[in-house]
């Protein structure tokens, strides 16, 4: 085997340009790292060529520009060859870039996977159509809904109402219940055939399962749990999500593969307005997965319905939320009273949940639920970033905290610096009085 040695770039040697030395006082001699310069009586340098390493320090230091680098004919030949090779490498890079751009340009359009369970659509799918509409407008491409299920054509029409321009429909009994294999095959088939540039899914149990499987199969990137989506000047999807335990927001891009895939948690994107009259083309696909090729069977569906006391904080319009400042479980009764007055629900920070003061499904934040109520009242909550990412898009945030420097005030619409044990009951009382007054006025 022949060893291919990498050619070293010649550095040349230093020489004096006759008549240019100004006898500055031996600056070149003092800077030379190899003692390769002697001075003559006239104060001009004599270069000891074998010692010179071509470091150019003396050339740079010379105030009269009296020193220069020169190359032997062999060195000049090597330099010429190197320049030629570098030019070829540049051409190759340009060609690769062109091929990549061509590959990416073959993918066009924004898709939203419409999640449904037994025909019931997940609200996050409509939220994603709202976000997808903005992305599609920026890219000047259609927004498509992808509906997979059994007897689910009406969901295409519903998707048009929430902004989809067209819908891909795969309707067959084999897709009745969600199973990874048939849904994976179906979605990959559509992606390979129609080549969308962006595919969005809800960061739900189903969305997380399917998105990961699809991204692996089609060989692209996936950003989970995005909190923000945008488009850069090269048509790349900018996918923003919390990173490093929520301490920073990272914007991730998948600039060499298509489609770009992202999941977004429910409630993160605003719900778009429903258009009462909307229509669009439905692109039907007869692609079927044979039941014999699927390893899983759904034998029975057992609904995980919670008892009557279960509360879904993600749909609440008014949320009174408590943190460590509440001090004890029993103290949450004052929040409940305020929530009752408002017709809202009680939620909490992770500290409150970890302390066992509230059930886990009431946690707001990065590892809890994302909420977007009309009013979010944060009581005794400091406002850690992991909490803020779950509530900062509420229409109005009212923060009650006795520490005027608490970070929660940075996202608050109204801030009350004070003891929550005085402020919360006072608010409840005031609301009660207002209600009574308006009832009396009506009678």
Ligand X SMILES: Cc1cc2nc3c(=O)[nH]c(=O)nc-3n(C[C@H](O)[C@H](O)[C@H](O)COP(=O)(O)OP(=O)(O)OC[C@H]3O[C@@H](n4cnc5c(N)ncnc54)[C@H](O)[C@@H]3O)c2cc1C
Task: Please give the residue ranges that form the binding site for ligand X (CB under 6 A).
Answer: 245-246, 323-325, 349-352, 363-368, 380-382, 384, 386-387, 390, 400-403, 406, 419-421
Q: How far is the CB of 4 from ligand X (least distance, A)?
A: 50
Q: How far is the CB of 305 from ligand X (least distance, A)?
A: 24
By beta-carbon proximity to ligand X, the closer residue of 15 and 324 is: 324
Contact 19, 64 (CB under 8 A): no
By beta-carbon proximity to ligand X, the closer residue of 133 and 387 is: 387
Q: How far is Cα 246 from Cα 244, in angstroms, rounded to an integer?
A: 5
By beta-carbon proximity to ligand X, the closer residue of 247 and 396 is: 247
By beta-carbon proximity to ligand X, the closer residue of 265 and 387 is: 387
Q: How far is the CB of 311 from ligand X (least distance, A)?
A: 17
Q: How far is the CB of 254 from ligand X (least distance, A)?
A: 24
Q: How far is the CB of 308 from ligand X (least distance, A)?
A: 26
By beta-carbon proximity to ligand X, the closer residue of 237 and 388 is: 388
Q: How far is the CB of 210 from ligand X (least distance, A)?
A: 24
By beta-carbon proximity to ligand X, the closer residue of 4 and 328 is: 328
Q: How far is the CB of 207 from ligand X (least distance, A)?
A: 19
User: Which tokens belong to 409?
Assistant: 């005030």
By beta-carbon proximity to ligand X, the closer residue of 146 and 384 is: 384
């Amino acid at each position: 085997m022949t060893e291919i040695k990498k050619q070293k770039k010649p550095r040349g040697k230093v020489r004096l340009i006759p008549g240019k030395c100004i006898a500055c006082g031996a600056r070149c001699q003092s800077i030379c790292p190899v003692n390769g310069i002697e001075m003559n009586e006239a104060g001009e340098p004599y270069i000891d060529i074998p010692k010179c390493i071509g470091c150019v320090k003396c050339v740079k230091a010379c105030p009269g520009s009296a020193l220069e680098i020169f190359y032997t004919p062999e060195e000049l030949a090597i330099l010429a060859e190197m320049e030629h090779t570098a030019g070829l490498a540049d051409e190759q890079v340009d060609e690769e870039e062109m091929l990549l751009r061509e590959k990416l340009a073959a993918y066009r359009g924004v898709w939203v996977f419409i999640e449904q369970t037994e025909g019931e659509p997940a609200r996050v799918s409509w939220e994603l159509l709202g976000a997808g509409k903005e992305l599609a407008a920026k890219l000047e491409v259609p927004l498509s809904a992808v509906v997979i299920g059994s007897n689910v054509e009406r969901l295409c029409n519903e998707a048009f109402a929430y902004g989809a321009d067209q819908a891909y429909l795969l309707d067959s009994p084999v897709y009745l219940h969600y199973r990874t294999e048939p849904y994976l095959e179906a979605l990959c088939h559509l992606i390979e055939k129609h080549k969308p540039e962006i595919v969005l899914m809800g960061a739900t149990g189903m969305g997380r399962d399917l998105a990961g499987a699809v991204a692996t199969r089609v060989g692209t990137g996936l950003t989970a749990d995005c909190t923000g989506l945008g488009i850069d000047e090269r048509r790349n999807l900018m996918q923003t999500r919390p990173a490093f335990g929520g301490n920073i927001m990272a914007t991730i891009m998948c600039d060499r593969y298509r489609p770009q895939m992202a999941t977004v948690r429910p409630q993160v994107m605003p719900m778009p307005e429903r258009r009462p009259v909307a229509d669009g083309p439905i692109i039907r696909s007869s692609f079927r997965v044979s039941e014999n090729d699927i390893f899983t069977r759904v034998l029975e569906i057992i609904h995980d319905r919670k008892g009557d006391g279960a509360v879904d904080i993600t749909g609440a319009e008014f949320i009174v939320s408590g943190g460590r400042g509440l001090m004890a479980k029993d103290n949450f009764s004052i929040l409940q009273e305020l929530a009752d007055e408002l017709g809202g629900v009680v939620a909490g920070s992770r500290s409150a949940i970890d302390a066992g003061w509230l059930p886990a499904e009431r946690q707001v934040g990065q590892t809890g639920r994302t909420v977007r109520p009309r009013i979010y009242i944060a009581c005794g909550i400091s406002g850690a970033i992991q909490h803020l990412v779950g509530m900062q898009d509420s229409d109005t945030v009212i923060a009650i905290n006795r520490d005027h420097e608490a970070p929660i005030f940075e996202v608050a619409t109204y801030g009350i610096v004070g003891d929550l044990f005085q402020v919360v009951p006072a608010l409840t009382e005031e609301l009660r009085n207002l209600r009574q007054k308006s009832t009396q006025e009506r009678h």
